[in-house]
Structure 1
Amino acid sequence: MENNKAYLRAHKKVKNIKEFYGHLLTYVLVISGLIILNVLTSPKHLWFYWPALGWGIGIICHGISVFNFNPFFNKEWEERKLKQFIEEEKELLNKWK
């Protein structure tokens, strides 16, 4: 039973990674096309960086969620906060004894 759950979790993670790389490839292809279109049609007015920036932020957020990268609220931070709140709760309970 546990092996099956582990397999399903691993399968879901691989699927998410695959979707991220598909998203990244689509981004690179479309933004490349927009750059070419922009340079050929109006080289004096560059606008391609606006969609690149907006979509790029989405790509970064997608990557952070897929690869579980969050430098601010990672597992260590979570553990520290849990310990902090447990200690505060203990101090509060001891205060009223």
Structure 2
Amino acid sequence: MKEEKDEQLWQQAKARADFKKHLVTYIVTNGMFWLIWLFTGGVNAYPWPIWPTAGWGIGIIAHYFDVYRFGNTAEKEYEKLKKHNM
């Protein structure tokens, strides 16, 4: 017998799994950028990987807050209003 999934929990779990994949992709890709920089001039060359690392890092931080901190804000506000109007 299959267990019914709670749709809200399922969506939250999916969002967290997507964030983890995004984070791994960020780490691997930016690690490769820094290795390319290191092996093609390294410390004597302009550190160009700082730009994709910083730019994409802002996106990672925003994604984290969306998934772990501010997710379901509409539902939380709805619950507050529902309790207030009872």
TM-score, normalisation: structure 1: 0.63
Name the structure, 1 or 2, with higher relative contact order (CA <8 Å, separation 6+).
2
Q: Give the equivalent residue in structure 2 for 1:55.
A: 56
Taking only aligned residues, the RMSD between alpha carbons, in angstroms, comes to: 2.0
Q: Which runs of 5+ in 1 are unaligned?
A: 70-74, 80-97
Residue 66 of structure 2 aligns with an amino acid whose one-letter code is: S
Larger radius of gyration: 1
Residue 46 of structure 1 aligns with an amino acid whose one-letter code is: P
Q: How many residues align?
A: 68
Per-residue CA distance 1:19-46 (angstroms, 9 max, x = gap): 0000000000000000000111121221
Deviates most, 36-45 or 18-27? 36-45
Query: Identity percentage over the alignment?
Result: 31
TM-score, normalisation: structure 2: 0.71
Per-residue CA distance 1:43-65 (angstroms, 9 max, x = gap): 12211111000000000000000
Q: Which runs of 5+ in 2 are unaligned?
A: 71-75, 81-86
State how far apart, in whole Å, the 1-side matches of 2:7 and 2:41 are. Answer: 50
